[in-house]
Amino acid sequence: MDAAETNRTAKTGAMTFVQSEVFARTFREGMSLVEETANYLDGEGRDASKSLSRSAALSYAGASMRLTTQLMQIASWLLVLRAVREGDMSVAEASEEKYRLNARERVAADLISGELPRRLLALIDGASQLYDRIHRLDGDLFRMKRSETQTHDAAAQQRALLDAFSGGRGR
- Domain presence at residue 151: no
> Chunked in runs of 10, what are the mean pLDDT values of the chain (171 residues)?
51 88 96 98 95 90 93 97 96 92 67 80 94 94 57 61 58 47
- Domain presence at residue 150: no
Q: What is the pTM of this model?
A: 0.76
Q: Which residue range is the domain that position 58 belongs to?
A: 3-144
- Domain presence at residue 112: yes
Please say whether the beta carbons of 159 and 24 come within 8 A.
no
Residues 6+ apart with CB under 8 A from 124: 63, 66, 67, 107, 112
pLDDT digits over 138-170, tens only? 999 987 544 444 445 566 666 666 666 665 554
